[in-house]
Amino acid sequence: MYAVVVTDYGDTEVLRYQQVEQPKPGLNQVLIKVEATSVNFADIKARYGKKGKESLPFIPGLDVTGTIVEVGEDVKDFKVNQRVIAFPQGGSYAEYVIANTDLTFLIPEKLDFVTAGACPIVSFTAHKLLCDVGRIMLGETVLVHAAAGGIGTTAIQLAKILGAGKVIGTVSKEEKVSAARQAGADYVINTSKRNFVQDILEITEGEGVDLTLDSIGGRVTENSLLCLARYGRIVHFGNASGETANIQTKDLHASCRSILGFSLGTTRKYRPYLLRDTAEKVLGYIESGKLKITIGNQFPLKEAKIAQELMESRNSIGKILLIPPSSSLNQTKE
């Protein structure tokens, strides 16, 4: 089978499109023929050796959608020809992957492979951030940083579905404003031109926001605390800035504010059972049309370098998908 392999740590030149041995499913695993896989910042961090420090060479990637073509021993809940999304073992930039059954989820009948391929990381993460960690309540004001990205546009929609009163998004470039607005943000702040703390305090009449989703870290986290309401929560789930935030405990206890952390990767590794209910809810929202996944670009698998460079440039809007050569989504044969 064809796959993209990271041969060394570094820029996109270390990505090699080559033939590798097709994996075999083991105990409680399924073999999936991949229709699409998504590109995520975690893939780029892994390529640089900044996340997980996987042994070289390795196949990057976190999630797939496709069809089960073989089941391993003791598999009872899945069968051949079922359409699924999954978080596979051993990477996802490939024509075939294996996944544990506890990280494999059936695709609803009405959901197409393109939408399914774009949804796992962004929809599962956004739902966990808002519901289980952030504990969103009806009528609350939600701030979403990096609002034009895959998780950002998904979180904006989910916040509205879950009853948020106002949703405020921040973006780093003017051309990203429209994506956040289209997702449903009531206000969008371009942080390259505006001070988001001042704008938010004005929008909320000095009260601040109740829930902030922060994947940036550093000064953004520090400044987010300045416009967080009493009893407000900041959920920190990434560190795109590479900076460290300095938080003083005196800014938390008297105001009853809190800073919480979440990692979908940690949850997949240590408590995968927590994702079963999440999958049921978000896939239901998507199937019904309430939640729409923003898809920005699709590339053939062999163009993974271009796809990662686009994401790394921070010029991408929505999800980026990679399509293997054997996928039914290809219009022409390679």
The domains located in the chain, with CATH, are 2-119+293-323 (3.90.180.10), 122-265 (3.40.50.720)
Contacts 24+ apart (CB under 8 A), 169-178: 169/143, 169/144, 169/145, 170/143, 170/144, 170/145, 170/146, 170/196, 171/146, 171/147, 172/146, 172/314, 173/314, 173/315, 176/147, 176/148, 176/317, 177/148
Tell me what the pLDDT averaged over the chain comes to.
94
Q: What is the predicted pLDDT for the residue at 210?
A: 98
Whole-number Å distance between alpha carbons of 329 and 36? 8
Q: 65 to each of 55, 98, 153, 159, how far by Cα in Å? A: 25, 12, 20, 25
Question: Of the ranges 70-74, 159-163, 190-194, 240-244, which one carries the lowest mean pLDDT score?
Answer: 240-244
Q: What is the predicted pLDDT for the residue at 332?
A: 41
User: What are the tens digits of pLDDT across the range 78-130?
Assistant: 999 999 999 999 999 999 999 999 999 999 988 999 999 999 999 999 999 99
Are 68 and 78 in contact by the 8 Å Cβ rule? The answer is yes
* Percent of the chain clearing pLDDT 90 (strictly above): 88
What mean pLDDT is predicted for residues 236-260? 92
User: What are the tens digits of pLDDT across the range 34-67?
Assistant: 999 999 989 999 999 987 667 899 999 999 999 9
Whole-number Å distance between alpha carbons of 277 and 280? 5
What mean pLDDT is predicted for residues 197-212? 98
Bigger pLDDT: 149 vs 25? 25
Q: pLDDT confidence of 331, banded at 50, 70, 90? A: low
Q: What is the predicted pLDDT for the residue at 22?
A: 96
